[in-house]
Amino acid sequence: MKTLLLSLILLLHTNANPPATVYICSGAKGKKYHLRNDCRGLSHCQHRIVKMTLSDAEKDGRTLCGFEK
């Protein structure tokens, strides 16, 4: 019974949080991700602002923008 209950809690917890959406500047020099599409760090982006998941941004080696901290 405990195993079933723990499995159910784990399953619900895993599905409760959808992947976080972040924003990046699509230029080759961009190394940061942003939590908001109107972040100050994106104001000088000369390329497209692209929406992606947090995990994809981190896989690309991007880190959180200093203005978001």
- 10 lies in a domain? no
Instruction: Identify which has the larger pLDDT, 34 or 1.
Output: 34
- In this prediction, what percent of the chain has a pLDDT beyond 90? 64
Residue 59 lies in a domain: yes
Number of structural domains (the chain) is 1
Domain-embedded: residue 2:
no
How far from 57 is each of 13, 43, 49, 54, CA to CA, in Å?
23, 19, 13, 5
30, 61 contact by CB (below 8 A): no
- Whole-prediction pTM value? 0.70
Give me the helices (H) in 1-69, please. 2-16, 54-59
Question: Residue 40 sits in which domain range?
Answer: 18-68
pLDDT tens figures, 32-58: 999 999 999 999 999 999 999 999 999
- Please indicate, yes or no, if residue 34 is contained in any of the structural domains: yes
- In a domain, residue 4? The reply is no
Domain membership of residue 32 (yes or no) is yes
- Asked if residue 40 is part of any domain, the answer here is yes
